[in-house]
Structure 1
Amino acid sequence: MALDSDTLAQFLDALDRFVKERLIPNEALVAEEDAIPPALVQEIREMGLFGMSIPEEYGGLGLSMSEEVQAAFVLGQTSPVFRSLVGTNNGIGSQGIIIDGTAEQKAKYLPALASGEMIASFALTEPDAGSDAGSLRTTARRDGDHFVLNGTKRYITNASRADVFTVFARTNPETKGSSGVSAFIVEAGTQGLSLGQPDKKMGQKGSHTCDVILEDVRVPAANIIGGPARENQGFKTAMKVLDRGRLHISAVCVGAAERLIRDALAYAMERRQFGEPIAEKQLIQAMLADSRTEAFAARCMIEETARRKDAGANVSTDAACCKMYASEMVGRVADRAVQIHGGAGYMAEYAVERFYRDVRLFRIYEGTTQIQQVLIARNMIRDAAAA
């Protein structure tokens, strides 16, 4: 359900103030300590950020896609780790339950996810299955009214703090592709579920990933998202949430790019060389102009695609275009921002150094650039053949 324009404006204004007054001032601390302070996590809960996309009837804000990307534009202007904290609750960790979950699953999990009382984690990637998710090896063997899960999931965001996991496992060993895979709701603390050591990453300090290890984990068949009737339908559920996730990440990329442009412009206007601010130098101006133009183009793509999605259009191809373009765009903007800062841009005291590393991940997760290219082209060919 969309908010009325006044309520949306008030929320976005409050979010903007929160980002500027509470999140940005804590970026360096979070990066240094590799953790978000618990008091700040509580403030994020109180802002309602864990439930932006969860329906109001379950305690969320119920933002439409158009409204969610506006919020992501704002949230993206601070360290990506804050968005990562709430991202799975709003996206892949909850949307499967929202779209395909049973009434009991929705009532049990969505209110706790919306409030941030529970943290969700999405366990799909494996040591030998990432972009080729259909090749996953985690198994789910039927045992009466339960399934027994075995396997290892890798690079799982928020796993160390998660209360509930969406785990994809192969329930039909006769199939090698995605058609024999089911999506299970598995609560933390279930016997046989354990976590690996925290991953040491290039960037995004404060956002934690690690392996999720499943050793004879018994899960009721009723914990398949949508119930037992949706056995072997897990990837169909996953595909339904991809468009929203791609648009959300795209909007975060735009927010990050706009932050980088603002920081680079401020530095260029202050830094003097050859008797004048470097902002007066045409080659610096070219980098600023290119960055502003590309960020604006991405924003327009995302807003238009979000509007069409809200109107009920099939936007799978366009959402992939947005994700590919925006994630590549923010990488170029980050590189220019470092270049404009010169030697200072290589120093940790400036945020552009951290953002340069942080935004590199956007081209990889939620579908690599190369996967988006393949998807876009295949859809083009399919549509042309059907015309």
Structure 2
Amino acid sequence: MMTLILFVLAAASLLAVMRREAGAKPAIAVMVVFGLLSWIFASGWLTLLLFIGAAVTAAAGLPRFRRSWLTPRVFAMFKKVAPKVSATEQVALDAGTVGWDGDLFTGRPDWHNLLINRNTGLTEEEQAFVDNQCVKAVSMCNAWDVAVERADLPAELWEYIKKEKFLGMIIPKQYGGLEFSAKAQSAVLQRLGANEVLMTSVGVPNSLGPGELLVKYGTDEQKDYYLPRLADGQEIPCFGLTGPRAGSDATSLPDTGIVCKGKYNGKEVLGLKLNFEKRWITLAPIATVVGLAFQMFDPDGLLGEEKELGITCALIPRDTDGMEIGRRHWPIGSPFMNGPIVGKDVFIPLDFIIGGPEMAGEGWRMLVECLSVGRCITLPSGAAGSCATAVGVGGGYTRIRRQFNNPVADMEGVQEALGRIAGYCYIAQSSVLQTANMVDNGGKPAVPSAILKYHLTEMQRSALTDAMDVHGGKTVTLGPRNYMGIGYSGSAVSITVEGANIMTRSLMIFGQGAIRCHPYVLRELAAKDKDDEKAFDDAFFSHAGLIFGNAARAFTQALGLGKAEVPFDSTARRYAQAVARFSAAFGLCSDAAMTTLGSQLKMRELISARLGDMLSNLYMASMVLKHWHETQPVEGEADVLEYSMSMLLSRTEDALDELLNNLPNRAVAVALRVITMPLGRNWHKPHDDLTRRVARAISTDTPVRHKLLAPIWHTEGDDKENPVARYNALLKDNERADPIYRKVAKAAAKGELPAQALHPEEQFEAAYKAEILSEEEITFMREYEKNVLDMLTVDDFPFDALAMDKSTLVDHNPA
């Protein structure tokens, strides 16, 4: 009995030392003390075990001992198995900054690091722009008109966009731009998200493109000339990166620029002969200046000894000889301006290189540094806006649409879809806002930008699918009245651009994060490259301490012991503690995967993807908690928080479970399962009762619904242009209409109304004649039901209106 007691006390003491990563000396002291106690009071086997453990710990944990014999052997082995980092990979790793994503890798996230930069909101100027210019812009276009009738924005809207400097949000005021914060850019794009073509047309010039590249890297002459013209729309920019043989793999560009002499404006100058073929280039058909990425070569040594200079970026005016531009692609769903650009022996002076000749070969670095910011703003903001739109129309439609004498919003199958839509919306809005706030505080979140790009565009696609499902026939029938079909079909575009989603999930999120965000891996690789044994010793054995610490934290916290201290209220506290627990499990599993797979982990994309899923869900959960912490919750918001956190933590545990089921080293996988999930699953999808409450909250006139709709256009507009505003008005009246519906249905069931009165309007009139409804009630219901029917109505067209080629029409009714 005494042996068992001493064993449990020794194990608990060692776990406490490991949790704090207190180092080798306290661990040795614990084992020696309990070894002596065991020798005196208990069995010899425990004494032997503890003394052997103390000796091994001393040999590996005390620098003076291990550096003489252990470190050289470990270092030699590490140099053989460590992955090689290519030059292009190194540039990507060096781009951006590490923030909260790095905390999650440690397994002991310090929440104060996340909360220290509080979101202070928009400036008065920025908020006024969102409330006025953005609302006016989105009210000037209709999805059907833009996508089908014009395949373009109206001319007056283009003029308005240029006049109000929508294309110059990132350009400094000294050059005539708006110089908006990242949060303001996100707010603008969410407000414009009601129309995909409009959002894309504004978003792209303010993301990766000539404007951002010029601001960060351009020469003074380039800035002085181009930035004012870009800000007020005199110049329309595009950026040519992808092509037929280089999509997401930008480093394999086949487009070339050869250094040579040629004539420009009648003078012989040193320049570049360009040959390129680009496609999927947004705004290319109307662009006046083209940013171009290409591989630069100097075979004749005109610039120096280096023959292969690497990826370079240049600016090319539209009318440059040899460039073919103006044709269009037809993007699915939303035909925003997008097209190919081809160049054959196009000559440009070296001064056209962005940043001048000194920036030759620096294009890859420039691109990845810009992507580390732009990728977390444009597409994620559009996704958040789409999710909010799905809340607005999905919740509204299902409340006014009645089946079986009840709103379809009260059917549990529909409520399941509405709950998901609300959760996706809350997660997307929180993640975009709080990540943009990091950018405004000086961050360049490379890994979070990949997380948001992948997960939020996938949430957008899922939310729109759910919204389509609950609408049924209303939104599968295209026409001016269909406010969802075009956006739904266009959602596929977001998952392909700025890095295909499959690649982003399976290669980028964890692949970049494992080296960039891990507290020790980058130091170990640097020590290997420099052959610095002492630096390696410091990094490697600190890394070993982290592994033991994460194992102890993951195990004890999974048992409910030693929960992390977190600075959140009682509503959010348990979720933050769960994030801390899974952070330790993630850190431990990451190290196990890297250790057991080594350089093979690059090719084991499914393993990498699941680790990335864990990191991503923990990151988004943290953003939701920060959003809750910093904003004033409204009535019912705690349910949406619980739903969102249950969803994210369940997804985290799913990813952990799948990882352990598929980790090739089965012995390690079994050990990890015992440590990280000793009691099995703890988190599950949201409970049915919670789903019902959340679904009702977004399908009725509640503070939660209004808070989720706040970022989008939801308060103004005529009948055709703003369905969310119309649904909001109907939901305000629904509370009055609902008891009238029930009263009339009850009368019909009792046989108090004529059997032939089948339409709601007929039943209301019959009930009025039977004095079941008052004058006030019938007057109200006539107007209310008229508006309901108008929202349920779908479009139809003349027989020959849909054929583009009328000569192919068949006469189905010959005389």
Deviation larger for 5-14 or 161-170: 5-14
Aligned-pair CA distance for 1:21: 2.7
Instruction: Supply the distance in 1 between the matched residues of 2:276 and 2:191 (Cα, whole angstroms).
Output: 38
Whether contact under 8 Å (1:96, 1:240) holds in the other structure is no
1:39 offset after TM fit, Å?
Answer: 1.2
1:147 aligns with 2:272: yes
Instruction: Give matches, 1:1-387, under 5 Å.
Output: 5-19=123-137, 21-23=139-141, 26-32=142-148, 33-76=150-193, 78-93=194-209, 94-144=211-261, 145-172=270-297, 180-195=310-325, 197-205=327-335, 207-248=336-377, 249-349=379-479, 350-373=482-505, 374-382=507-515, 383-384=517-518, 385-386=521-522
**SS at structure 2 position matched to 1:335:** helix
Letter in 1 for 2:489: R
Q: 2:289, 2:318 within 8 Å by CA — same for their partners in 1? A: yes
The 3-state SS of whatever aligns with 2:361 is: coil
C-alpha separation in 2, matches of 1:295 and 1:3:
19
Letter in 2 for 1:313: G
TM-score by length of 1: 0.93
CA deviation vs aligned residue, 1:34-88 (integer Å, no higher than 9, x gap): 1212111112223321111111111111011122112222122x21111222233
Contact kept? 1:179, 1:235, Cα under 8 Å: no
SS of 2:376 mapped into structure 1? helix
Read off the aligned partner of 2:123 and give its amino acid letter. Answer: S
User: Does structure 1 conserve the Cα–Cα contact (< 8 Å) formed by 2:137 and 2:160?
Assistant: no
User: 50-59 or 225-234, which moves further after superposition?
Assistant: 50-59
How far apart are the structure 1 equivalents of 2:204 and 2:237?
Answer: 6
The alpha-carbon deviation at position 285 of structure 1 amounts to: 1.7
Q: Distance in 1 between matches of 2:399 and 2:309?
A: 56
Question: Whose Rg is larger?
Answer: 2
- Residues 317-343 of structure 1 show CA distances to partners (whole Å, capped at 9, x for unaligned) of 111111111100000011011101112
Shift of 1:173: 7.6
Contact 1:264 1:341 in 2 (8 A): yes
SS of 2:179 mapped into structure 1: coil
Q: Larger deviation: 185-194 or 318-327?
A: 318-327
Cα separation, partners in 2 of 1:235 and 1:34, compared to 1, 3 Å? same
Q: Percent identity?
A: 27
Answer yes or no: is the 8 Å Cα contact 1:165–1:187 preserved in 2.
yes
- 1:244: Cα distance to partner? 2.5
Q: 1:219 aligns to what SS in structure 2? A: strand
Residue 211 of structure 1: how far off its partner (Å): 1.4
Matched length: 379
- Shift in Å at residue 190 of structure 1? 0.3
Whole-angstrom distance in 2 between the partners of 1:3 and 1:108: 33
Q: In 2 relative to 1, CA 298–368 (structure 1 residues): closer, same or farther, beyond 3 Å?
A: same
State the SS of the aligned residue for 2:342.
Answer: strand
Deviation at 1:3, TM superposition (A): 9.8
Q: 1:173 to 1:280 in 2, by over 3 A?
A: farther
* Unaligned ranges ≥5, structure 1: none
Distance 1:91 1:228, change over 3 A: same
Deviation at 1:20, TM superposition (A): 5.0
CA–CA separation in structure 2 for the residues paired with 1:4 and 1:330? 25
- 1:240 deviates by 1.6
Instruction: Provide the TM-score with structure 2 as the length reference.
Output: 0.45
Check the 8 A contact 2:135/2:191 in 1, yes or no. Answer: no
* Distance across 2 between alignment mates of 1:105 and 1:263: 46
The 1:95–1:20 alpha-carbon spacing in structure 2 relative to 1, beyond 3 Å, is closer
Change beyond 3 A, Cα 1:196–1:50: closer
Counterpart code for 2:289: V
- AA aligned to 1:284 is V
- Contact 2:289–2:317 under 8 Å retained in 1: yes
- Look up the SS of the partner of 2:453 in the other structure: helix
How far apart, in 2, do the equivalents of 1:262 and 1:306 lie?
A: 24
The verdict on how the C-alpha distance between 1:62 and 1:3 changes in structure 2, with shifts beyond 3 A counting, is farther
**Aligned-partner Cα distance in 1 for 2:463–2:491:** 10
Say if 1:4 and 1:246 are closer, same or farther in 2 by CA, change over 3 A.
closer
Task: Note the residue ranges of structure 2 that are not aligned, 5 or more in a row.
Answer: 1-119, 262-269, 300-307, 523-542, 544-815
Cα gap change, 1:368/1:267 in structure 2, threshold over 3 Å: closer, same or farther? same
Where 2:245 maps in the other structure, the secondary structure is coil
Shift of 1:16: 4.6
Amino acid at match of 1:351: Y
* Matched AA of 1:155: W
Show CA shifts across 1:266-296 (max 9, x none).
Answer: 2112211111111121221221121111111
Q: Report the Cα distance in structure 2 between the residues aligned to 1:90 and 1:327, rounded to whole angstroms.
A: 19
Matched residues in 2 for 1:355 and 1:3: separation? 29
SS in 2 for 1:375: helix
Distance 1:17 1:259, change over 3 A: same
Q: Cα deviation per residue 1:161-199 (whole Å; 9 max; x = unaligned)? A: 00000111110389xxx9711101001010000037422
1:74-109 per-residue CA deviation (whole Å, 9 max, x = no partner) reads: 122x21111222233212221011111111111111
The CA deviation string for residues 102-122 of structure 1, in whole angstroms up to 9 with x for no partner, is 111111111111111111011
* Higher relative strand content: 1
| Contact preservation (8 Å) 1:324, 1:369 | yes
| Inter-CA distance 210–5: structure 2 relative to 1 (3 Å threshold) | closer
Aligned-partner Cα distance in 2 for 1:225–1:34: 32
User: What amino acid sits opposite 2:124 in the alignment?
Assistant: D
Are the aligned partners of 1:328 and 1:363 in contact in 2 as well (CA < 8 Å)? yes
Instruction: Provide the residue aligned with 2:587 in structure 1.
Output: none
Q: CA RMSD in A?
A: 1.9
Give the conservation status (yes or no) of the 8 Å contact 1:15–1:74: no
Look up the equivalent residue of 2:174 and give its one-letter code: E
Give, in whole Å, the separation in 2 of the partners of 1:19 and 1:181: 38
What is the distance in 2 between the residues matched to 1:346 and 1:371?
A: 31
